[in-house]
Amino acid sequence: MIDSAKTVADAPAPGPRERRMERTRRELTSNARRLTIERGLHGFTVEELCEVVGVSRRTFFNYFAAKEDAVLGHRDDGIPIEHLTTFINARPADCQGISPSLIDDLIAMVIVTLEEFAADGQDITTPEAVIAREPQLLGKFLREGAEMERLLAGIICTREGLPEGDPIAEMAVGVVSVMVRRAAGLYFRPENTASFASHLLSSADATKRLFAATLSA
């Protein structure tokens, strides 16, 4: 489990077995969310989910304690360790203070992760779509999202040499989270024809222009 920034920095690259496990967990979560949106949380069984993914009931319970946990997703499957490591190492060696590429590197990490998921044939299903069908899951998604943001802020602190809990790291995560939510909202519109990455880059550009205008005022 990724429970700290140090864990990420010290973690070895995942091997073939770990890769297979990650893909299986993500496929279970992707299909559990899709089925929840289509039928509701109680509209399908663990056995039906396993049949769709092509795994046994025993395999499912090796990864998740319950169907609801599969819908929420496994914390380690948010952003692969190797992408987090690349992000940490992307800080320029001669940089003083906060690296100017921090936000761009965060966005690049999100994009490469989503592209990897898409290459594996996994849908981008947002928690918002699941919550719209099953509002009682809101609290759990919020708690899990807050924990992931805390871990990512810790990784930023490790990369930038900031003390744990530094507000700059927390704000960087918050800003990128808003960009991702906006990009998702645009991406899932029925009339949309652009990629998620293009919407995310557009959101980043708008954010930069906003900050530049504010700072120059």
Quick: pLDDT tens for 149-164: 999 999 999 999 999 9
Query: What does the angle CA 58 – CA 61 – CA 67 come to, to the nearest 5 degrees?
Result: 125
| Distance of alpha carbon 30 from alpha carbon 23, whole angstroms | 10
Q: What's the mean pLDDT when you consider all of the chain?
A: 87
pLDDT of residue 2: 45
* Average pLDDT score over residue span 75-96: 87
Tokens 């293009």 correspond to: 198
* Average pLDDT score over residue span 201-213: 92
Q: Which of 58, 78, 66, 108 is nearest to 1 (CA)?
A: 78
| Distance of alpha carbon 190 from alpha carbon 180, whole angstroms | 18
CA atoms within 13 A on the CB side of 59: 16
- Burial of 191 from C-beta contacts in 10 A (0-12 / 13-18 / 19+): exposed
| Distance of alpha carbon 152 from alpha carbon 5, whole angstroms | 8
Binned at pLDDT 50, 70 and 90, residue 117 comes out as: confident
Q: Looking at 48-140, which runs of residues are DSSP E strands?
A: none
Other CB atoms within 10 A of residue 43 CB: 12
Binned at pLDDT 50, 70 and 90, residue 1 comes out as: very low
Q: Return the exposure string of 45-73: e unless at least 16 CB atoms fall within 10 Å of the residue's CB, then b.
A: ebeebbebbebeeeebeebbeebebbbbb
Q: Which of 114, 36, 103, 119 is nearest to 70 (CA)?
A: 36
Tokens 């993914």 correspond to: 53
Contact between 152 and 180 under an 8 Å Cβ cutoff? The reply is no
Contact between 37 and 134 under an 8 Å Cβ cutoff? The reply is no
Binned at pLDDT 50, 70 and 90, residue 11 comes out as: low
